[in-house]
Amino acid sequence: MIHKIADGVFSVGSVHWERRVFDELIPIPDGTSYNSFLIFGKEKTALVDTVDPEKTHELLTNLEKLKVERLDFVVANHAEQDHSGSIPAVLKKYPMARVVTNSKCRGMLMDLLHIPEEKFLVVEDREELSLGERTLKFFLAPWVHWPETMLTYLMEDKILFTCDLFGSHFATSRLYAEEDAKVLEDAKRYYAEIMMPFRVQIRKYLKWIGELEPRIIAPSHGPLWKNPEFILKAYGEWVSDNLSNKVLLPHISMHGSTRRMVDRLIDSLVERGIDVVPFDLGKIDLGRFAIELVDAPTLVLAAPTVLVGVHPMAIYAAYLVNALRPKLKYFGFMGSFGWGGRALDHIKAQLTSLKVESFEPIMVKGLPREEDLEKVDSLAEAIAQKHRELNLFKEV
Ligand code: FEO
């Protein structure tokens, strides 16, 4: 698909309408796109990022349609194959082209795609590259989303090419985001799944990105932002320390005992004015779970013991939470067991990256009795107290 962004600047990437899973892990219910950008200068022509190898033919066809006879530079903002995977095919078609990237990304591309070292032009942070009357400026921005990531700014046109950063897995025939709730949710889902572990770095980057005052932010997934303020403001909120008055409650139950504790905790928290977001771990949508993690202060995991260990779905949830490194401050665990086990030890072993304060766990032998459920009420009260200390209760 070809879109004109400005005179001599085109989007030439590919929309992957039917893709539903990324990295064989992340659900992408609205498909995705791999955006690639062609820039004609008076002297040189550059391509910024390529497309997933599955879509190489579409990129090459688009370049032919635009009558690109000579390509001087292929800028690689990121080594991951959904953006770099077509570089070898582009270099085959345009043997004079050089791959422009930073030294770390060069090493990764040599490993991942076996691109020879002599094909690279290595750039430093804030280095500029002239295309004639147009100039590319490169900003190293590690960890959005790998250690080698960088952003490329087309200075005269004020277009910032951000690769994964500010992207969304959203297949659309439109070039620009519509700024509605759906677009924002897809962008938030993407942030939560991909960028949340790096929110501290992103917070720093937002400052100088804002100072650039880009006219357009052009990520390599999903629509472009012609009003950058919209997505910059949303990111500013997501990476902030702001929290909501809610509890995430991922849970699973085999014979209903843990379920009784879950139901009691939901009621008890709601009675105290706290929102609850339960997730059945047997049917969890990872994206929705990640979105709710963005501003959750508290998570309570509820799972039974299977033989001598915790239910494996609880391990999966704890592993994901640990990997996504959300803002969580408080953690609770509750569940039932039959004859013992080390469920809590197994969960704690998964949460090594989180700096959370843990509530007293509630482990119940068999079906919970009323005195067990009163302990669940006490947990709800302990959570409410912590939320009060965080000033999360709004005045009504
Ligand atoms: Fe879209 Fe990190 O690749």
Do 136 and 46 contact (CB within 8 A), yes or no?
A: yes
- Predicted confidence (pLDDT) at residue 22 exceeds the cutoff of 90: no
DSSP state of 196: G
C-alpha of residue 188 to centroid of ligand 1, in Å: 15
CA dist 376 and 265 (Å) reads 6
CA dist 136 and 74 (Å) reads 12
Q: Please, is 197 exposed, middle or buried when counting C-beta atoms within 10 Å of its C-beta (0-12, 13-18, 19+)?
A: middle
At 302 the pLDDT is: 96
- Predicted confidence (pLDDT) at residue 226 exceeds the cutoff of 60: yes
Domain with CATH 3.60.15.10 in the chain: 3-238
CA dist 217 and 225 (Å) reads 5
CA 188 to the chain's CA centroid: 8
Q: Is 82 in the pocket of ligand 1 (CB under 6 A)?
A: yes
- Predicted confidence (pLDDT) at residue 396 exceeds the cutoff of 60: no
Closest-lying ligand 1 atom to the alpha carbon of residue 194: 2
Residues 364-373, mean pLDDT to the nearest whole number: 95
Question: What CATH number is given for 246-387 in this structure?
Answer: 3.40.50.360
Q: Tell me the per-residue pLDDT of 129-158, one tens digit each, with 9 for 90 and over.
A: 999 999 999 999 999 989 999 999 999 999
Q: Is 16 in the pocket of ligand 1 (CB under 6 A)?
A: no
Atom 3, ligand 1: which residue's CA is nearest? Answer: 80
Q: Tell me the per-residue pLDDT of 27-55, one tens digit each, with 9 for 90 and over.
A: 888 899 999 999 999 999 999 999 999 99
**CATH pick for 3-238 out of 3.30.870.10, 3.60.15.10, 3.30.110.40, 3.40.50.1220:** 3.60.15.10
Residues 283-296, mean pLDDT to the nearest whole number: 93
- Predicted confidence (pLDDT) at residue 254 exceeds the cutoff of 70: yes
Length of the chain: 396
> Rounded to the nearest 10 degrees, what angle do helices 257-271 and 370-389 cross at?
40
Q: Is 83 in the pocket of ligand 1 (CB under 6 A)?
A: yes
Q: Is 221 in the pocket of ligand 1 (CB under 6 A)?
A: yes
Domain with CATH 3.40.50.360 in the chain: 246-387
Residues 238-248, mean pLDDT to the nearest whole number: 97
Mean pLDDT score of the chain:
95
Q: Tell me the per-residue pLDDT of 65-102, one tens digit each, with 9 for 90 and over.
A: 999 999 999 999 999 999 999 999 999 999 999 999 99
C-alpha of residue 144 to centroid of ligand 1, in Å: 9
Confidence of residue 284 (pLDDT cuts 50, 70, 90): confident
Q: Which residues contact 166 (CB under 8 A, 6 or more apart)?
A: 187, 217, 219, 225, 231, 235
- Predicted confidence (pLDDT) at residue 249 exceeds the cutoff of 80: yes
Atom 1, ligand 1: which residue's CA is nearest? Answer: 164
Q: Is 19 in the pocket of ligand 1 (CB under 6 A)?
A: no
